[in-house]
C-alpha cells in the first residue's frame, strides 16, 4: 500500500492518505502527542470524512474518551488493540450531508 503525506489544515501531526478496496483512508498517529494534540488532530481529520467512501484512522496511546461525545451524532468508529499496546480507531460518517459536529470544539475536558 502506497501512503502519501498530505497537508491537513490545523493539524499538528503528519497525515497520510491511501486507498484500499475503493475506500480512501486518512491516517495520523497521535500516540506521542500530549493533550490536546490527539483531539485537535482528530477534529481536523474528521472534517475530511464527507462521504461513505472515506475513513479516518487515528492511532493513539489510549481511547480518546473526550472525543466520542463530541462526534457521536455524526460519526461511528471501530476500535482495534494493536500489538504494541496502542489503540487504532477507524472513523466513518453515519450519513452524508451536513453534520452537527462542532469541529472547532477541540479542547479536552478533564
Domain ranges of the chain: 4-93
Class of domain 4-93: alpha beta
pTM summary value:
0.94
Give the per-residue pLDDT at 109: 62
Residue 18 CA neighbour count, 13 Å, CB half: 10
Tens of pLDDT along the chain (110 residues) come to 799 999 999 999 999 999 999 999 999 999 999 999 999 999 999 999 999 999 999 999 999 999 999 999 999 999 999 999 999 999 999 987 788 888 888 877 64
Give the per-residue pLDDT at 89: 98
Amino acid at each position: 500500500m502506497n501512503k502519501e503525506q498530505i497537508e491537513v489544515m490545523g493539524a499538528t501531526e503528519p497525515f497520510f492518505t491511501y486507498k484500499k478496496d475503493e475506500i480512501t483512508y486518512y491516517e495520523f498517529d497521535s500516540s506521542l502527542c500530549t493533550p490536546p494534540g490527539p483531539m485537535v488532530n482528530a477534529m481536523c481529520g474528521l472534517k475530511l470524512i464527507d462521504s461513505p467512501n472515506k475513513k479516518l484512522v487515528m492511532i493513539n496511546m489510549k481511547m480518546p474518551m473526550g472525543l466520542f461525545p463530541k462526534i457521536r451524532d455524526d460519526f461511528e468508529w471501530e476500535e482495534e488493540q494493536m500489538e504494541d499496546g496502542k489503540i487504532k480507531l477507524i472513523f466513518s460518517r453515519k450519513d452524508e450531508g451536513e453534520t452537527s459536529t462542532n469541529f472547532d470544539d477541540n479542547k479536552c475536558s478533564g
